[in-house]
Amino acid sequence: MKFNKICVIGLGYIGLPTASTFAVNGVNVIGVDTNSHVIDTLNKGEIHIHEPGLPEAVSNAVRSGKFKATTRPEEADAYIIAVPTPFKHDEFGEYNGVKYKLADMRAVTSAAESIVPHLKKGNLVVLESTSPPRTTVDLVTPILEKSGLKAGSDFFLCYSPERVLPGQILRELIENARIVGGITAESAQAGHDLYATFVKGQIIKTDATTAEMVKLMENTYRDVNIAIANEFSRLAEKFGVDVWEAVSLANLHPRVKILSPGPGVGGHCISVDPWFFVEAAPELTPLIYHARQVNDAQPHFVVEKIKQALGELKGKKIAALGLAYKPDVDDLRESPANEVVHLLQGEGAQVKAWEPFKPDADMEGIHMASSLEDAIKDADLIVLLVKHTEFIKLDPHEIAEKTKTRVLFDTVSGWNINDWEIAGFKVIRLGVGK
């Protein structure tokens, strides 16, 4: 199949790199987003999110004349839905006394509805948003069929998960293997042809529900593995062991790959997607549910440790380094660092947070420092919450001149203890009981 013009609905962390990659590969792309500020920014060739290489990709796409951003879909050969699927914050499910989170599918629903008036015979629609199992068949198909066309025979319909890692999106979009699940074999083939425009990794065809499940399995597998690393950090403290050393030694085993403990699991994917399985089948998912509980409780564990280090938290001044959900990104969504800051404040500490990737972030209830110096100047303790490269590279002697404290709490094993001790600091690390 040939695709001269496509519509990408949702211009966030996935939709925008996808749209600009199609455009620089010669496809006419209409990028659609409901946020008019995003549209104006993009049409000027600028961008609203931080991702290495993306500013250049978007400005090339706009200059080539192949990319245009707007608030409504238009007629096209193919439609890609890449809108967010967060969980609901005010509604929960319950099974045998266990409370679980529910997927908020409103954005997928309205994206699918916005395609209906434009849908023609022979079109392809691809859902990329991470979704609960059977969404393509049970939710998207009936909406699109309101057009009077039949999915699978009049138009093609696929689920194709994005699997790119924030920070490396543009490279992984091209190089990663791509899974295309069609509601029919012909749909999968049409999806294959679309992504063959730029994907250099393998493109594997399957059915839509398998593709949905694959995506959820990948992120759930990672969440469960981080949960065990976090549980190991607690055990290591109890037994007087350094968890970082123990993990690196265990990982010498050829079939063991333990992930890193930390202040918790954040972002819009790993901390959300496992709930889609729990919601779909709470009776079958005790492990997945408990892994989520362990990771969600990790900020509390960190705060308890900081309390032990300071004796008490009331009135103590704490500098929090990093609010992003992981290193070298500006995404603060579902960040465990934010949770740590809120919990510290709840115990009476005065926290100043410094996030170099979003210094102007307006986070409810969080006092943002104007600079690193401002954050650490009067601090009683500095807590490292995110392993941003620029934090790891800080010079301990320079920092010693800029702060009155000599106590550091490192939740991510980002700092070399010897270097900081030579500069006069005491370094407490998460997961170290020695």
Instruction: Point out which residues pair with 429 in neighbouring strands.
Output: 410
Site for ligand SAJ in 165-204 (CB under 6 A): 165-166
Check binding of 266 to ligand SAJ (CB under 6 A). yes
Shortest Cβ 217–ligand SAJ spacing (Å): 9
Binder of ligand SAJ out of 7, 47, 269, 318 (CB under 6 A): 269
Q: CA 256, CA 226: separation in Å to the nearest integer? A: 13
Check binding of 209 to ligand SAJ (CB under 6 A). no
Shortest Cβ 82–ligand SAJ spacing (Å): 10
Shortest Cβ 386–ligand SAJ spacing (Å): 8
Shortest Cβ 295–ligand SAJ spacing (Å): 8
Q: Is 215 a catalytic residue?
A: yes
Shortest Cβ 313–ligand SAJ spacing (Å): 23
The first and second tokens of residue 322, run together, are 């990093």
Shortest Cβ 365–ligand SAJ spacing (Å): 20
Radius of gyration of the chain (CA): 23
Long-range CB contacts for residues 42-45, cutoff 8 Å, separation at least 24: 42/11, 42/16, 42/67, 42/69, 43/68, 43/69
Name which of 333 and 406 has its Cβ closer to ligand SAJ: 333
Q: CA 281, CA 274: separation in Å to the nearest integer? A: 11
The stretch near ligand SAJ (CB under 6 A) out of 100-108, 219-227, 233-241, 306-314 is: 219-227
Site string for ligand SAJ, 315-344 (x = CB under 6 A): ----------xx------------------
Name which of 270 and 407 has its Cβ closer to ligand SAJ: 270
Q: Is 7 a catalytic residue?
A: no
- Residue 47: phi, psi to the nearest 5? -130, 160
Reduced to 3 states (helix: H, G, I; strand: E, B; else coil), residue 408 is: strand
Site for ligand SAJ in 130-149 (CB under 6 A): 130
Reduced to 3 states (helix: H, G, I; strand: E, B; else coil), residue 403 is: coil
Binder of ligand SAJ out of 259, 344, 376, 379 (CB under 6 A): 259
Contacts of residue 240, defined as CB under 8 A and 6 or more positions apart, other chains included, come to 433, 434
Nearest to 114 by CA among 84, 149, 162, 146: 146
Nearest 5°: the CA angle 169, 170, 173 is 75
Check binding of 219 to ligand SAJ (CB under 6 A). yes
Of 68, 215, 305, 326, catalytic: 215
Of 68, 101, 205, 269, catalytic: 269
Site string for ligand SAJ, 15-44 (x = CB under 6 A): ------------------------------
| CA 428 to centroid of chain Cα atoms | 28
Nearest to 363 by CA among 409, 330, 326, 317: 330
Check binding of 70 to ligand SAJ (CB under 6 A). no
Return the half-sphere exposure (C-beta side, CA atoms, 13 A cut-off) of residue 364. 1
Give the footprint of ligand SAJ on this chain (CB under 6 A).
130, 162-166, 218-219, 222, 226, 259-260, 262, 265-267, 269-270, 325-326
Q: Which residues are catalytic?
A: 215, 269
